[in-house]
Amino acid sequence: MSDNKRPIVVVADDDRDIYELIKMQLTRHGFEVFIADNGVTALELIAAHQPAVALLDIMMPGLSGLEVARRIRDNSANSNVGIILISARSSGRDNADLDELAIDDYITKPFSLKELVDRINNVITHRQTTESSQP
């Protein structure tokens, strides 16, 4: 990922309104956005574009967001990809799998778009810092 280009985000959500909304907002904030409406497509997009962040809705038909996350992590080529999961659960993370999968962040519906943008930036910044600290 080069600093010149816009950061790439892959968004996976089965609801059209949601992903259109997110795409619009993120594009306005300077991200390049690729959309998938299912897990399989999401994985393909991630493999193709190596995004900075993958924004995954947990509740999707077919592969769930968790499953996608697992596959991303299993593939060592994707070690740079940050993962943010979108959940309908209102309370905090209570799934041990999340810890195992080294999810970067977790956001619950309904969320404010501004908050979403902030979180994505945080994840990217955090990842860059970690990367640069490694030899």
Binding interface with other proteins (CB under 8 A): 15, 17-18, 21-22, 24-25, 59, 88, 90-92, 94, 109-114
Nearer to other proteins, 47 or 113 (CB): 113
Q: Give whole-number Cα distances, 59 to 2, 4, 64, 65, 66, in Å.
A: 32, 34, 6, 6, 9
Q: How far is the CB of 74 from other proteins (least distance, A)?
A: 27
9/132 Cα distance (integer angstroms): 21
Q: How far is the CB of 18 from other proteins (least distance, A)?
A: 6
Nearer to other proteins, 6 or 93 (CB): 93
Q: How far is the CB of 37 from other proteins (least distance, A)?
A: 13
Q: Are 46 and 54 in contact (CB under 8 A)?
A: yes
Nearer to other proteins, 44 or 115 (CB): 115
Q: Where are the beta strands (DSSP E) in the chain?
A: 8-12, 32-36, 53-57, 82-87, 105-108
Sheet holding 82-87: strands in order across? Answer: 32-36, 8-12, 53-57, 82-87, 105-108
Nearer to other proteins, 47 or 59 (CB): 59
Q: How far is the CB of 76 from other proteins (least distance, A)?
A: 32
